[in-house]
């Protein structure tokens, strides 16, 4: 009788432990480290986490400037350039991912880009924690934790860009080179004349209508590009671009 009671108590305890483990939320740090090891295949993920954490913990979520990520992006996990294979984009993320796959490197293929793409995080004054709820939206304040990270990461990615660089722009937008976009505000201005030889704009449209290479916003792009960097523009429909990149996947020959 005693043994049966003891068994029941032990079984009860085991169920409680399992239930608690099942509802225990996975911390942002655990997901970060797991993605760092599996997606980015890095071997120094604890060091990367620690530099990432220093940028935002114990900070008001609207007072994290892009420079807060300097140490992380310049020293601990700087983006590694891939000459003639770097791809930028604006307002056309899904197509850019399809085109780049296996052939071009986007910011979201870098160590930090792959770990943080799609994630939201912020800190709080007086707390050592990283939060994922209650963080301000992208446009809520200028220096928000997430926006500042992507601004700083984009600047670092553009600064190391080398050789022939390509950008996919949305030809169905009235201003494919949108002055408020990260590409216009940060990346174009960050290309270095001694590293980047040319910028090819691929203007991607759903069908034959839509903007073409004479679009006024592209004049602004050319004005902002440093002298010495050759400007090339080509209009393509989304289906032409996808068909060609799929056909060229093995050789990675450019479609523009
Ligand atoms: N997740 C990423 O990979 C990422 C995010 C930001 C910037 N970038 C870099 O900058 C360029 C793209 O940025 P862009 O501004 O030119 O194009 P974009 O306007 O399409 O914005 C790019 C991304 O920024 C975020 N974003 C922008 N405005 C937002 C808003 N109002 N609310 C919530 N999220 C918002 C979204 O994640 C969006 O997919 C690329 O060349 C890339 O290198 C990459």
* pLDDT tens profile 66-119: 999 999 999 999 999 999 999 999 999 999 999 999 999 999 999 999 999 999
Q: Are 184 and 177 in contact (CB under 8 A)?
A: yes
Please tell me the distance between residue 185's alpha carbon and the centre of ligand 1 in angstroms.
Answer: 12
pLDDT-derived band at 15 (thresholds 50, 70, 90) equals: very low
pLDDT-derived band at 136 (thresholds 50, 70, 90) equals: confident
The widest CA-to-CA distance across the chain, in whole angstroms, is: 89
Mutate which of 154, 167, 170, 188 for ligand 1? The one with the most ligand atoms within 8 Å of its CB, which is 154
46 is written with which tokens?
Answer: 């604890």
Pocket of ligand 1 from Cβ distances under 6 Å: 88-91, 93, 107-108, 113, 117, 138-139, 150, 154, 157, 181-183, 187
- Of all residues in the chain, the percent with pLDDT exceeding 70 is 91
Please tell me the distance between residue 91's alpha carbon and the centre of ligand 1 in angstroms.
Answer: 7
Please tell me the distance between residue 154's alpha carbon and the centre of ligand 1 in angstroms.
Answer: 9
**Structural domains of the chain, with CATH:** 25-247 (1.20.82.10)
Identify which of 175, 183, 171, 249 has the alpha carbon closest to the alpha carbon of residue 219.
Answer: 175
- For residues 226 and 99, give the distance between their C-alpha atoms in angstroms, rounded to a whole number: 26
pLDDT of residue 3: 52
Q: Are 142 and 68 in contact (CB under 8 A)?
A: no
pLDDT-derived band at 16 (thresholds 50, 70, 90) equals: very low
pLDDT of residue 10: 47
Q: Which atom of ligand 1 is nearest to the CA of 91?
A: 20
């Amino acid at each position: 009788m005693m043994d049966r009671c003891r068994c029941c108590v032990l079984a009860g305890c085991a169920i409680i432990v399992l239930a608690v483990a099942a509802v225990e939320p996975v911390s942002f740090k655990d997901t970060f480290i797991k993605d760092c090891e599996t997606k980015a295949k890095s071997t120094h993920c604890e060091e990367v986490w620690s530099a990432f954490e220093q940028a935002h913990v114990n900070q008001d979520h609207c007072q994290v400037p892009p420079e807060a990520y300097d140490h992380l992006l310049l020293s601990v996990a700087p983006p590694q350039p891939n000459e003639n294979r770097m791809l930028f984009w604006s307002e056309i993320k899904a197509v850019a991912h399809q085109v780049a796959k296996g052939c071009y490197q986007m910011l979201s293929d870098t160590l930090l880009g792959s770990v943080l793409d799609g994630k939201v995080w912020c800190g709080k004054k007086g707390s050592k924690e990283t939060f994922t709820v209650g963080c301000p939206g992208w446009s809520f304040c200028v220096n928000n934790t997430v926006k500042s990270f992507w601004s700083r990461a984009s600047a670092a990615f553009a600064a190391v860009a080398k050789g022939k660089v390509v950008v996919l722009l949305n030809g169905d937008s009235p201003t494919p080179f949108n002055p408020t976009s990260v590409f216009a505000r940060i990346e174009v201005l960050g290309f270095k004349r001694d590293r980047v030889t040319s910028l090819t704009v691929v203007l991607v449209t759903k069908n034959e209508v839509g903007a073409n290479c004479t679009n006024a916003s592209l004049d602004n792009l050319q004005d902002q590009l440093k002298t010495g960097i050759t400007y090339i523009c080509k209009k393509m429909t989304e289906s032409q671009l996808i068909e060609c990149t799929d056909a060229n996947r093995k050789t990675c020959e450019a479609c523009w």
